Structure 1
Amino acid sequence: MTVIETKLKGCFIIEPTIFKDKRGYFFESFNEQKFNEALNLNSRFIQDNESFSTKGVLRGLHYQTGNSAQAKLVRVVKGKVLDIAVDIRKESPTFGQYISIELTEENKKQIFVPRGFAHGFVVLSDTAILSYKCDNFYNKESEEGIIYNDTTLNIDWKLPPESLIISEKDIDLPSFEEAIL
């Protein structure tokens, strides 16, 4: 496993070691001990989530607040997505900055999104299955978000706006400034 810290402190890209032969491939998608040692963390994931989406579906930008904040370990099982992590920690030197990474069934990369980040993704392939681990349980009352097309963040989603499929809930999210005040 190779771990790469991004420009956003505490946010990591994880590239697994993949063993391939004529039968196919094998890789360890998660090992708590190796994960915590490599990232110098003491995380415990307690909830796994999976979503299926079609091309152009954009989910996000979501986060949980207070005692319900969540860290996530995200990967794509099938297809290709553009995954976005936004640093919303006011005390952070990278507050208001984001990273984007293509997660695919081929590259098998994962992204660790720490607490204090907003997260979202858009599907770039015909369909995609995204799987992620959370270190805290979902709490509807603590759910917040930022509108995907916020002009302060200026995220390049890699698809034309007219091709995006977005839930009503996500279209009604506040701007970065409104959400973070």
Structure 2
Amino acid sequence: MQVRQLAVRDCFEFNPPQFPDHRGLFTAPFQEEVFREAVGHPLHLAQVNFSTSRRGTIRGIHFADTPPGQAKYIHCPRGALLDVAVDLRVGSPTFGAWDAVRLDAGNQRSIYLAEGIGHSFIALEDDTAMTYLCSVGFNPSAEHGVNPLDPELGLPWPTDLEHILSEKDRNAPSLAQMAAEGRLPTYEACVARYEELRGAISSQ
């Protein structure tokens, strides 16, 4: 399994080996030992989400209040998508920065987004499927969004696709609005959460 740190701190790309033969294909998109070595702690799995999306569908930018936040390990078992990690942590050295990774059924890559990182993606094919391994369960009162079409962010959405968004995402506030209202996670709180997770392992 090859691991690459993204341009956004505390986010990683995992690229597993594939074993095709006359029957089909085998791969292991998530491997705890590799994950733990890269991130510094195992992934606490509280919920698995699954979505399918039409070509051109944009979901996000979504994030959860930290603490506890919600870390995500994202994989695309069918179709293709462009997955985007956005640093929403006020005070982070990469605040407002983003990185994008193509996930598809051919490359079998996955990405990990730590707590406090915003998540968004666009489906590049019809019937694109995504699975999300989540560190905490869904908590509606703690879930928030930033507008994925915010021109200040300039996310790399393909211009040759019709962009399909929910009303909630289309009308979400900009990054600047969320920052001005004090509704974004702080880098300090997120780092404290990461250290708490690593400390829980060292004390075992």
Q: TM-score range by the shorter chain?
A: over 0.9
Q: Match for residue 118 of structure 2?
A: 118
Greater share of strand residues, 1 or 2?
Answer: 1
Q: Match for residue 130 of structure 2?
A: 130
* Percentage of identical aligned residues: 34
Secondary structure (helix, strand or coil) at the match of 2:42 reads coil
- Flag as ranges the 4+ runs of structure 1 deviating above 6 A: none
5+ residue gaps, structure 1, are none
Q: Does 1:66 align with 2:70?
A: no
Normalising by structure 1, we get a TM-score of 0.94
Q: State how 1:1-181 maps to structure 2 within 5 Å.
A: 1-160=1-160, 163-181=162-180
Q: Note if contact 1:62-1:143 (Cα within 8 Å) is conserved in structure 2.
A: yes
Q: Determine the C-alpha separation between the residues in 1 that align with 2:6 and 2:29.
A: 20
Secondary structure (helix, strand or coil) at the match of 2:67 reads helix
Q: Note if contact 1:56-1:159 (Cα within 8 Å) is conserved in structure 2.
A: no
* Displacement of 1:143: 1.0
Deviations 1:44-83 (A, max 9, x none): 1211100011111111111111334111000101000111
Q: What letter corresponds to residue 147 of structure 1 in structure 2?
A: N
Q: Determine the C-alpha separation between the residues in 2 that align with 1:24 and 1:159.
A: 34
Secondary structure (helix, strand or coil) at the match of 1:67 reads coil
Q: Determine the C-alpha separation between the residues in 2 that align with 1:82 and 1:179.
A: 24
Normalising by structure 2, we get a TM-score of 0.84
How many residues are matched?
A: 180
5+ residue gaps, structure 2, are 181-204
* Displacement of 1:32: 2.2
Secondary structure (helix, strand or coil) at the match of 1:59 reads strand
Secondary structure (helix, strand or coil) at the match of 1:141 reads helix
Deviations 1:76-131 (A, max 9, x none): 01000111110111121111000111110000011101111110111111220011
**Please, what is the CA RMSD of the aligned residues?**
1.4
Q: What letter corresponds to residue 177 of structure 1 in structure 2?
A: A
Q: What letter corresponds to residue 103 of structure 2 in structure 1?
A: L
Q: What letter corresponds to residue 134 of structure 2 in structure 1?
A: C
Q: Determine the C-alpha separation between the residues in 2 that align with 1:155 and 1:28.
A: 30
Q: Note if contact 1:48-1:132 (Cα within 8 Å) is conserved in structure 2.
A: yes
